[in-house]
């Protein structure tokens, strides 16, 4: 309506917003004009008030001027339940049950940027409906070790893949006038010692491996917020880190949004003032007495800052820069012209989550075509394993959700099988009971003795009678598994699952193993199992998605966003990298050789390679051709390859292009992912894909020159269906 009036008035030559109406309230005025107008109306106290929290997840606006509060929510897989004002505990609302979307590892495994856009748009709509203007996500810390308890919230081990996938997620979220807050900047690659560990990493690895996804989020995704991480770098906490926040993020990348602290990640007023932090959250301390409730006025960026300003020991220019950024956030979100009301828990969001889940599930192995399950001649299905029934949308730390519903794998299978087959369930193993997360006065649960042998024997006996056994295991969201706050302590499956899998296989070789996890696990039984699937944490529609893949309604097309090593020592962070450090310091000795880059360098065969994933159909790669064999740094080369679906059903293939630098002044990885396309082909259909490569795919970071270098010489483009299955190579020269 306001727009129509404005338009009408402007046709008549009159401004709807007369002299008396402040510019900052005019939604059609440029954001920067609104910011300047608002800031000059604010008192010093009002300015200091808006740069720190007033409750667990909100910060004040300027009530006198009608500028609204900021409300944040985790992130990154759904909109978290409302909590009490000053507590982590749930507030007990009855209208805050959300859609849980698949974990970000699952999204990354789709290798489909259009699904990242759908994800962002959908979760942004949920945030908007719940009046949240900042979504605390996505997370793009690089998967350095399979033990990191938070890998499931991130997008895998490769900076290029994470960069391509994070940008549309952000654009989708922000199309709802909700800011994406990209986290955790930076080098938060483990949970162990996360509050204080000081990371030492080469400038080169920082630029080539750990920063690119953040840079893409800022420069291409135009993220309006970023979250500093808990750990330290160059001996400074990353929430107030001169080099990361001021030099790189704000100066080099021109970030104009807000830097938000991780909850409780601020430790020093002067550093917070000077080193690039804009908003402080979660400190829960007055700087003297840890744990005093409602101490928001005592936050490092609250009264202590105000006092320094009043005594002129702090410069108001620092305050004004922070205030401008916070105002910009508000005008981009809660006071933006395009604001809508969002939508919540809708069938469309469930369908979006299901689509993402179905495309992210990875078929790791399928010998003798055990899968898909042929419902016509399968009468007795035995489902074994706690992960077939355990809710996976709760637990795991800050990404824990209160969901409208969650379809478990067992329910999904039962729904799909209907009356056509008998579906029997046995636990086979159990995990110890855990205390409920986010519930006030939650009691420590009574632990019962788990008789693993009896559970195992019962399942193995039943397996003998079944036409097929579907084992659901992996990790879960309990502490020490895929869970914030700590890391796993080994690559092995917990709760005696390996012994159970061996017994099931002995009883019935037609046993498929379905892993639910956000991390790689060891598989000592791999040669005896005909079929293995990685099914991730897939949210609300998890069970329907896995059933669709198991029964062949959906042809799997996910590819691994990280390597599965055979042993922990095959991973660079463990072989060379000093993980987890001595409690104070950790040196990333694996340097740029993270993930497949390490295995390539050491010539180690992975259990399953980065980029691996099978289909129920087959694809044939034809001969690759290039339009040139020499380029200058200003030119591009087009590389084409025909890909044909040679099977009998439609399917999708992710065609991956890696660049190999044949000779360079600095050591380089054997190959690095620089392009990919997901292609959908009908049975018998062929399409030719073209990749355009320019110098950005060829450069490396020289830490002495502090610059990206495109070094002339010979390169090869390797095209394949995984990092370990290269089909074609094309030579070309940069001169
Ligand atoms: C986590 C963040 C999260 C915040 C608020 C912190 O412990 O590291 O990722 O957004 O809590 O819940």
Question: Do both 441 and 539 map to the same domain?
Answer: yes
Mean pLDDT value across residues 231-245 = 98
Least confident window among 78-87, 125-134, 172-181, 541-550: 78-87
Whole-prediction pTM: 0.96
Question: Do both 26 and 46 map to the same domain?
Answer: no
pLDDT digits (tens, 9 = 90+) for 318-355: 999 999 999 999 999 999 998 999 999 999 999 999 99
Question: Do both 500 and 641 map to the same domain?
Answer: no
Tell me, what's the pLDDT at 510?
98
| Residues with Cβ within 8 Å of residue 667, at least 6 apart in sequence | none
pLDDT digits (tens, 9 = 90+) for 601-643: 999 999 999 999 999 999 999 999 999 999 999 999 999 999 9
Closest residue (by CA) to atom 12 of ligand 1?
A: 398
CATH of the domain at 466: 3.40.50.1700
Question: Do both 362 and 328 map to the same domain?
Answer: no
Question: Do both 104 and 20 map to the same domain?
Answer: no
Mean pLDDT value across residues 496-519 = 98
Question: Do both 414 and 547 map to the same domain?
Answer: yes
Question: Do both 542 and 649 map to the same domain?
Answer: no
Tell me, what's the pLDDT at 2?
45
Tell me, what's the pLDDT at 9?
47
For the chain, give the percent of residues with pLDDT over 90: 92
Measure the CA–CA gap between 393 and 624, rounded to whole angstroms: 44
Question: Do both 304 and 374 map to the same domain?
Answer: no
pLDDT digits (tens, 9 = 90+) for 268-290: 999 999 999 999 999 865 444 55
- CA of 219 from ligand 1 middle (Å) equals 24
Domain finish residue from 532, 562, 592: 562
- What is the residue range of 452's domain? 351-562
Tell me, what's the pLDDT at 716?
98
Q: Are 60 and 334 in contact (CB under 8 A)?
A: no
Q: How many domains does the structure of the chain reveal?
A: 4
Mean pLDDT value across residues 363-387 = 97
Closest residue (by CA) to atom 2 of ligand 1?
A: 262
Tell me, what's the pLDDT at 28?
93
Checking if the pLDDT of 6 tops 80, the result is: no
Mean pLDDT value across residues 468-487 = 98
Pocket test of ligand 1: the residue of 57, 136, 141, 190 to mutate, having most ligand atoms within 8 Å of its CB, is 136
Measure the CA–CA gap between 110 and 360, rounded to whole angstroms: 4
Band the pLDDT of 91: cuts 50, 70, 90: very high
Question: Do both 664 and 693 map to the same domain?
Answer: yes
Closest residue (by CA) to atom 7 of ligand 1?
A: 263
| Catalytic residue IDs | 262
Domain finish residue from 562, 588, 607: 562
- CA of 513 from ligand 1 middle (Å) equals 33
Band the pLDDT of 577: cuts 50, 70, 90: confident
Question: Do both 460 and 315 map to the same domain?
Answer: no
Pocket test of ligand 1: the residue of 79, 262, 484 to mutate, having most ligand atoms within 8 Å of its CB, is 262
Tell me, what's the pLDDT at 196?
95
Measure the CA–CA gap between 29 and 337, rounded to whole angstroms: 9
pLDDT digits (tens, 9 = 90+) for 164-198: 999 999 999 999 999 999 999 999 999 999 999 99
Q: Which atom of ligand 1 is nearest to the CA of 188?
A: 8
Residue 587 lies in a domain: no
Residue whose pair of structure tokens reads 């069938």 in the numeric block: 347
Omega of the bond leading into 75 within 30 degrees of 0 (cis): yes
Mean pLDDT value across residues 547-563 = 98
Tell me, what's the pLDDT at 442?
87
- CA of 91 from ligand 1 middle (Å) equals 18
- CA of 670 from ligand 1 middle (Å) equals 36
Tell me, what's the pLDDT at 480?
97
Pocket test of ligand 1: the residue of 398, 437, 438, 479 to mutate, having most ligand atoms within 8 Å of its CB, is 398
Q: Are 241 and 262 in contact (CB under 8 A)?
A: no
CATH of the domain at 110: 3.20.20.300
Domain finish residue from 528, 546, 562: 562
Mean pLDDT value across residues 512-533 = 98
Residue 609 lies in a domain: no
Residue 591 lies in a domain: no
**Is the Cα torsion angle 201, 202, 205, 206 positive or negative in sign?**
positive
Q: Which atom of ligand 1 is nearest to the CA of 80?
A: 12
- CA of 261 from ligand 1 middle (Å) equals 9
Measure the CA–CA gap between 97 and 74, rounded to whole angstroms: 14
Least confident window among 182-196, 428-442, 487-501: 428-442
Residue 421 lies in a domain: yes
Residue 337 lies in a domain: no
CATH of the domain at 668: 2.60.40.10
Neighbours of 239 (CB within 10 A): 32
Residue 278 lies in a domain: yes
Q: Are 613 and 725 in contact (CB under 8 A)?
A: no
Q: Which atom of ligand 1 is nearest to the CA of 88?
A: 12
Tell me, what's the pLDDT at 545?
99
- CA of 262 from ligand 1 middle (Å) equals 6
Measure the CA–CA gap between 385 and 495, rounded to whole angstroms: 11
Average pLDDT of the chain to the nearest whole number: 95
- For residue 599, give both structure tokens: 């295995």
Question: Do both 362 and 502 map to the same domain?
Answer: yes
**Ligand 1 binding residues, C-beta < 6 A:** 74-75, 136, 183, 262-263, 398
3-state SS assignment for residue 293: coil
Question: Do both 25 and 46 map to the same domain?
Answer: no
The full DSSP string for 469-481 is EEEEEE--SSTTS
Residue 701 lies in a domain: yes
Neighbours of 576 (CB within 10 A): 18
Of 129, 126, 150, whose CA–CA distance to 78 is shortest? 126
**H-helix or E-strand spanning residue 463:** helix 452-465
pLDDT digits (tens, 9 = 90+) for 668-687: 999 999 999 999 999 999 99
Residue 181 lies in a domain: yes
Q: Could you give the strand order of the β-sheet that contains 70-74, starting from the edge strand earlier in sequence?
A: 58-59, 70-74, 134-136, 179-185, 225-228, 258-260
């Amino acid at each position: 309506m306001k727009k129509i009036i404005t338009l009408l008035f402007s046709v008549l030559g009159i401004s709807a917003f007369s002299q008396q109406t402040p510019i900052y309230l005019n939604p059609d005025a440029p954001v920067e004009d609104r910011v300047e107008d608002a800031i000059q109306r604010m008192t010093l106290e009002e300015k200091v008030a808006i740069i720190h929290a007033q409750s667990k997840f909100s910060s004040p606006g300027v009530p006198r001027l009608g500028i609204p509060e900021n409300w944040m929510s985790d992130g990154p897989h759904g909109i978290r339940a409302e909590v009490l004002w000053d507590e982590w505990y749930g507030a007990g609302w009855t209208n805050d049950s959300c859609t849980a979307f698949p974990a970000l590892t699952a999204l990354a495994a789709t290798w489909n940027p259009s699904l990242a856009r759908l994800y962002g748009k959908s979760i942004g709509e949920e945030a908007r409906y719940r009046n949240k203007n900042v979504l605390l996500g996505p997370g793009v810390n690089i998967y350095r070790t399979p033990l990191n308890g938070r890998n499931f919230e991130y997008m895998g081990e490769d900076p290029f893949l994470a960069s391509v996938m994070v940008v549309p997620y952000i654009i989708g979220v922000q199309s709802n006038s909700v800011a994406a807050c990209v986290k955790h900047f930076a080098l938060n690659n483990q949970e162990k010692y996360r509050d204080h560990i000081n990371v030492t990493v080469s400038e080169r690895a920082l630029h080539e491996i750990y920063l690119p996804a953040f840079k893409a989020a800022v420069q291409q995704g135009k993220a309006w917020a970023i979250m500093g991480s808990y750990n330290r770098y160059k001996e400074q906490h990353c929430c107030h880190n001169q080099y990361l926040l001021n030099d790189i993020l704000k100066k080099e990348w021109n970030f104009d949004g807000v830097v938000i602290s991780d909850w409780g990640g601020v430790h020093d007023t002067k550093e917070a003032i000077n080193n690039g932090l804009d908003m402080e959250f979660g400190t829960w301390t007055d700087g003297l007495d840890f744990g005093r409730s409602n101490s928001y006025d005592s936050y490092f960026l609250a009264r202590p800052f105000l006092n320094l300003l009043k005594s002129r020991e702090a410069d108001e220019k620092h305050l004004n820069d922070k205030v401008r950024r916070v105002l910009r956030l508000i005008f981009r979100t809660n006071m933006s012209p395009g604001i809508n009301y969002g939508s919540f828990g809708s069938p469309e969001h469930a369908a979006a989550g299901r689509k993402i889940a179905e495309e992210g599930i990875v078929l790791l192995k399928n010998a003798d075509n055990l899968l898909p399950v042929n419902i016509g001649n399968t009468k007795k299905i035995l489902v074994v394993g706690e992960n077939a029934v355990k809710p996976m949308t709760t637990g795991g730390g800050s990404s824990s959700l209160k969901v409208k519903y969650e379809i478990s794998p067992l329910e999904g299978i039962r729904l799909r099988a209907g009356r056509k087959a008998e579906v029997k369930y046995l636990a086979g193993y159990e995990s110890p009971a855990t205390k409920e997360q986010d519930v006030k006065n939650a009691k420590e649960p009574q632990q019962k003795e788990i008789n693993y042998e009896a559970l195992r024997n019962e399942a193995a006996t039943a397996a003998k009678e079944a036409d097929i056994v579907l084992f659901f295991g992996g990790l879960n969201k309990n502490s020490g598994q895929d869970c914030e706050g700590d890391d796993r302590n080994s690559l092995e499956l917990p709760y005696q699952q390996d012994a159970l899998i061996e017994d099931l296989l002995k009883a019935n070789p037609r046993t498929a193993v379905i892993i639910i996890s956000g991390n790689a696990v060891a598989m000592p039984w791999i040669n005896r199992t005909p079929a293995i699937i990685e099914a991730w944490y897939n949210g609300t529609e998890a069970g329907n998605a896995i059933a669709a893949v198991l029964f062949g309604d959906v042809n799997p097309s996910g590819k691994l966003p990280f390597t599965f090593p055979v042993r922990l020592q095959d991973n660079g962070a463990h072989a060379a990298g000093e993980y987890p450090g001595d409690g104070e310091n950790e040196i990333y000795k694996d340097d740029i050789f993270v993930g497949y880059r390490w295995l390539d360098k050491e010539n180690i065969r992975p259990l399953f390679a980065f980029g691996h994933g099978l289909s129920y159909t087959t694809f044939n790669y034809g001969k690759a051709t290039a339009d040139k064999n020499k380029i200058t740094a200003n030119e591009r080369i087009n590389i084409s390859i025909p890909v044909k679906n040679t099977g009998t059903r439609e399917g999708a293939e992710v065609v991956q292009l890696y660049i190999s630098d044949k000779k360079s002044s600095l050591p380089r990885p054997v190959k690095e992912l620089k392009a990919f396309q997901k292609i959908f082909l009908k049975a018998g259909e062929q399409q030719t894909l073209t990749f355009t490569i320019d110098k950005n795919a060829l450069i490396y970071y020289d830490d002495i020159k502090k610059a990206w270098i495109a070094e002339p010489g010979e390169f090869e483009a390797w095209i394949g269906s995984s990092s370990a299955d290269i089909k074609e190579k094309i030579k070309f020269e940069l001169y």
